[in-house]
Homo-oligomer: A and B are copies of this chain.
Amino acid sequence: MSEEKDNVIFIGRKDTMNYVMACITLFQGDATEVILKARGRSISRAVDVSEILKNRFMKDQIAIDKIDISTETIESRDRGNFSVSAIEITIKKK
């Protein structure tokens, strides 16, 4: 279980290629599965990361195993609690 946790990459506002490189590094290590998590506007970046991996850098080596979407509640002192959409993309080594 702790191994799985290490294979989660949270997609934020950095350049897309940062996350692509992070995935490649994990797969070149022990990881057989990497989970991309993103919220709000970063969702499209998470999709970009998995597509770039699949079509360019790890072609024929990985597959998208599962895509889940959900709603998360963010607790914020300034704005009160609010909801935001989230995505979880599970990528597996072939």
Contact = CB atoms under 8 A, between A and B. Distances in A.
User: How many copies of this chain sit in the oligomeric assembly?
Assistant: 2
A85 B43 contact: no
B70 A67 contact: no
Interface in A48-94: 48, 50-51, 55, 64, 67-71, 85-87, 89
A53 to B, nearest CB: 11
Interface residues of A, number: 20
A64 to B, nearest CB: 7
A8 interface: no
A44 interface: yes
Interface of A: 40-44, 47-48, 50-51, 55, 64, 67-71, 85-87, 89
